[in-house]
Structures are given as structure tokens and as C-alpha cells.
Amino acid sequence: MKIAPSLVLFDIDGTLLRRAGPHHREALVEAIRKTTGLATTTDRIPLYGMLDPVIIGEMLRRAGVAELAIREALPEVMRRAQSIYARRCPDLARKTCPGVRRLLTRLERRGVALGLVTGNLTRIGWKKMERAGLKGHFRFGAFGEMADNRAGLVRLAVEEARRRGWIDGATPVSFIGDAPNDILAAQAAEVRSIAVATGVVEMEELRAYSPDYLLEDLRGLRVDMVL
């Protein structure tokens, strides 16, 4: 396969989609209840930019569960959460952020390799893309259960793209996200950081983290920014 002119990695929530509904959060709550019998909540947990396994761990921790018990319960909670969400995910076709569909089409026409880097668990992330009508744009993804932090997911995605022969060591890589953790992950992984203010974080707060590019939304992203 021909080497792509660049690799662009996208966060999902707040970057590709917004206002996707409570179904994701509810799936985590119900999965914990079915696995442990505990009533938990995501209230007062700063969810933006967090990985699903980290969120689940914090929910259990705040419910008084010991660390060893959290580690033992986590695989089953994740399995149940993905199954629950896959059954209940709503139609997300109208939930894409401004400029998303046009940008993905333009990047594909230029031969850019596209991937996902998200804190969502694998089946949850792909189901969102399927229900939004975006799944076909992405070759692969790095998901919340695959690394301990978001920077690790970015590195994993880059390594996978190289392994598959889509990019080489000289190929520019960009990570697009809407949260400070996305900017920090890109910087830690030494890839280009592109921040968009389509989530809950204001532009001025994002600016404080010094992304390479800061945009109101993806309508402002030019193809040359990722080449």
C-alpha cells in the first residue's frame, strides 16, 4: 500500500460528535450495577478527556470499593458496558460537529490515513461512529482499554499505522481533540496538536495549553495544516 501523506487521529466526543445523549454514561452505571450490585454515579467526576476504564475505576472508588476489587471487577464491567451501549445507542447522524463530514471527505480524497484515538471502550467508540454514519472513514482506532492514558493511545495508534505500512517515520501525524488532555497527549507523543472548541472547554482555556492549531470548529481546518 502507498504511504499516506499524513496520519490524522481524531477524538470522538466533543470533536466528531456532540450532545450524543446520556446513553454512554448510563451504560457505565448499569454495567457496574449488574456486575457489583452497587449504585454509582458519574456526578462530580471530570469526564472530559478521561478514559472509560479510569472513569469506571473512579466511580467504584467513590462507592467505597477497594483497589484490588476494582481491578477484579473492571473486565466484566467493561464487557457489560459495551454490550449495553451497543444495544441502546441512538441515531447520531444529526450529532456531528460542524464541518466533520466535509473535512473527512477532503482528507480521504488527499489520501490521508484517518484513525480514532478516544477514551471510549472499543465497541462503544465504533458504535458511535456507525450510528453517526462516520465509521467508513476510519481505518482503525486506539480505544480506552488499550493503554493507561491518552498519550499511550496516541503512541499505540502511530505504531499500528506504521506496522500496517500506512505511514513511515517521516509521515506527519496530527491528533485532533477538544480537551486539554488531548493537547497534552499529542505533545507527550510528539505529534501535532490541533484543538477545537466544540466540546465544553472554551477557546481561551485550550489556548493556555499551546496547541499547534486552535480552531473554533473543524470548518476552519485546512488540509495543509496536517500535511
pLDDT for 112: 97
Do 120 and 215 belong to one domain? yes
CATH of the domain at 182: 3.40.50.1000
Contact 9, 160 (CB under 8 A): no
pLDDT digits (tens, 9 = 90+) for 140-161: 999 999 999 999 999 999 999 9
pLDDT for 129: 98
pLDDT for 178: 96
Contact 226, 167 (CB under 8 A): no
Do 215 and 128 belong to one domain? yes
pLDDT-derived band of residue 31, with 50, 70 and 90 as boundaries? very high
SS3 18: coil
Does residue 46 have a pLDDT over 90?
no
Do 15 and 34 belong to one domain? no
Do 99 and 201 belong to one domain? yes
Task: Give mean pLDDT, residues 42-70.
Answer: 93
Contact 183, 177 (CB under 8 A): yes
The DSSP H or E segment spanning 176 is strand 173-177
pLDDT-derived band of residue 20, with 50, 70 and 90 as boundaries? confident
pLDDT for 190: 97
- Residue 2 inside a domain? The answer is no
Among residues of the chain, what percentage have pLDDT more than 70?
Answer: 100
pLDDT digits (tens, 9 = 90+) for 116-126: 999 999 999 99
Task: Give mean pLDDT, residues 201-205.
Answer: 95
- Residue 135 inside a domain? The answer is yes
- Structural domain count of the chain: 2
Do 112 and 205 belong to one domain? yes
Name residue, grid cell 450524543. 20
Do 57 and 125 belong to one domain? no
- Residue 57 inside a domain? The answer is yes
- Backbone dihedral angles phi then psi of residue 225, each to the nearest 5 degrees: -70, -20
Range of the domain at 173: 7-19+95-226
Do 14 and 29 belong to one domain? no
Does residue 1 have a pLDDT over 80?
no
pLDDT-derived band of residue 21, with 50, 70 and 90 as boundaries? confident
Contact 23, 85 (CB under 8 A): yes
Q: What share of the chain is helix, strand, coil (3-state, %, to 5)?
A: 50, 10, 40
**Cα 149 versus chain centre, distance:** 11
Among residues of the chain, what percentage have pLDDT more than 90?
Answer: 94
Contact 16, 100 (CB under 8 A): yes
Do 70 and 127 belong to one domain? no
pLDDT-derived band of residue 223, with 50, 70 and 90 as boundaries? very high
- Residue 53 inside a domain? The answer is yes
Do 112 and 12 belong to one domain? yes
Report the chain's mean pLDDT, rounded to a whole number: 96
